[in-house]
Amino acid sequence: MTPVGFYTLLLPFLVALLDLPLSRFIGPKKIAAISAISIIIPAVFAAYAIFSLGSYQFTFASARYIGQFDVIINGLNWPIIMGVVLVSSAVTFYSIPYMQQRFREEGREDWGTYFLLYTLFAASMIGMAESNNFIMFYVFLEVALVPSFILISLYGYGEKGRISTMYFIWTHVGALTFLSGAFIYGVTLHSFNFYPIPQNLSAVYPSVYVIMSLLLIGLFIKMAVFGFHAWLPYAHAEAPTPISALLSPNLIGIAGYAIVRIPYELFPVYLAQAQWVLIAFALLTIFYGGLLVFRQVDLKRLLAYSSIAQMGYILLGIASLNPLGVAGAILQFYAHAVGKSVLFSSAGVMITENDGLRDVRKMGGLAKKMPYTASFSLWGFMNLSGLPPSIGFFSKLFILLGIAYSFMGRGSWGLLVFALSLISLGITPAYSFVTMKKVFFGPLGNPTIKEGGLYFLLPMAVIAAFGLLFFLFPNLMLSPLYAYLR
């Protein structure tokens, strides 16, 4: 295979390192454009690989007892790459007016440092999606953690020092727990490759329950599943909004992708033995996160709890252990990326353009003054709720179909699981439209409110358009994805 895919993955890392010296000679708009292009190019190659080659795999290094380090692109990670690239590249431009305001508040301006950390963060998520080896995946996982931690600690709100430390500790514990399972796997097999499935995989079966438990607990922490979620509402609410727009829809969702890529593909028989545990965690996460949304008065914290609930839907699709449900879980990653990035971006417009406005109780009637932000927010909530014409319609439909095929013939308990899954689908529309009513309709709560400028609105429009695109042409994602899973 050609090494072009490896070079496209390497490109944003190289550009990130150049952002700091470039900031001395060019302004933030040009740096943002260079960074965005470097992030987009891996998705362009991924599209070529999927629709012209069918899949892509290139070995760029190997080592004894470690295995091969491959860049992989196939139907399973294609929606993940698209979701990460779409949000990361669009939010690059959104960062310009947002961070200008944040720099003024902090009393210093450092575009080079910001774009260095931002581009590293985005590139590392592409790297995780394209990894085939535990060591490679873990390295990208840690590379994502460090710049996101620094961005929160430098540019976050509130007690940003304490909150960034909490974020670092929780997610680092998750990464190390994941690595512990990977270490046992790799030492046993003398290879850390998880894709393609190793021929000597049976060697790990005596310790498979320990490996699976460590992998799942580590990924549950990264995914903010119920019981492992304490860090998320603080980190995502107090991070600068461009980072919230990457953290919430992209980084935590990749943990769900990793559950499919690793335990689901390597140990399907053993994962089936834990199916009821997965279902319980999925439903608890949906109901807990979704119901707590109603209690939030801080808009960003509200969206953070919504992210917990949305991760529950991803886990629900995976827990079906059915190709339809798993396809829905992967599509849910993309739908959540579209919806939540637009919603966090809308919240950021209110914060920067309206003196830090975050309290829902002080809002109301904002659609009269912010019609574009209101429209984009509605579109974001529609993606989360699974309403047409959003890609979320297909993700929620496939998740429910997966649960139906997996549980409907399994007696009263199976029927209960299906009923609870069906009821859970109503939680997101409920809190979505209650929030829309509180924020954008009714009497105008703040007559001085104003709409955001072009650099705020255009990135949201691009993200929204790509959400619509894959609803109108769903086979662009569904055909490669379902062909892979089948």
Separation between Cα atoms, residue 437 and residue 434, nearest integer Å: 5
Dihedral sign of CA atoms 92, 95, 97, 100 in order: negative
196 prior amide bond cis, ω within 30: yes
Separation between Cα atoms, residue 45 and residue 110, nearest integer Å: 32
Separation between Cα atoms, residue 412 and residue 175, nearest integer Å: 38
- pLDDT of 486 reads 82
- pLDDT of 1 reads 67
Distances (CA, A) of 430 to 46, 81, 232, 287, 436: 36, 30, 22, 12, 10
* DSSP string for residues in 165-222: HHHHHHHHHHHHHHHHHHHHHHHHHT--B-SSPPTTGGGGGGGHHHHHHHHHHHHHHH
Separation between Cα atoms, residue 165 and residue 369, nearest integer Å: 38
- pLDDT of 248 reads 79
- DSSP class of residue 367 equals G
Structure tokens at 107: 């009393």
Residue 355 has pLDDT above 90, yes or no: no
Structure tokens at 252: 């935590």
For residue 106, what pLDDT band results from cuts at 50, 70 and 90?
confident
- pLDDT of 249 reads 76
- pLDDT of 236 reads 83
Q: Residues for the chain: how many in total?
A: 486
Are 260 and 76 in contact, with CB atoms under 8 Å apart?
A: yes
pLDDT tens-place string over residues 198-227? 999 999 999 999 999 999 999 999 999 999
Residue 251 has pLDDT above 70, yes or no: yes
With DSSP H G I counted as helix, E B as strand and the rest as coil, what are the percentages for the chain, rounded to 5?
75, 5, 20
Q: Average pLDDT of 157-169?
A: 91
Distances (CA, A) of 429 to 210, 301, 385, 438: 39, 18, 5, 14
pLDDT tens-place string over residues 415-451? 999 999 999 999 999 999 999 999 999 888 777 788 8
Residue 228 has pLDDT above 80, yes or no: yes
Q: What is the CA radius of gyration of the chain?
A: 21
Pick from 254, 426, 440, 230: nearest CA to 347: 440
Are 445 and 354 in contact, with CB atoms under 8 Å apart?
A: no
Domain boundaries, the chain: 274-486
Residue 362 has pLDDT above 80, yes or no: yes
Whole-number percent of the chain with pLDDT over 90: 85
Dihedral sign of CA atoms 126, 304, 333, 186 in order: positive
Separation between Cα atoms, residue 236 and residue 455, nearest integer Å: 22
Separation between Cα atoms, residue 162 and residue 289, nearest integer Å: 23
pLDDT tens-place string over residues 289-335? 999 999 999 999 999 999 999 999 999 999 999 999 999 999 999 99
For residue 357, what pLDDT band results from cuts at 50, 70 and 90?
confident
Tell me the whole-structure pTM to 2 decimals: 0.96
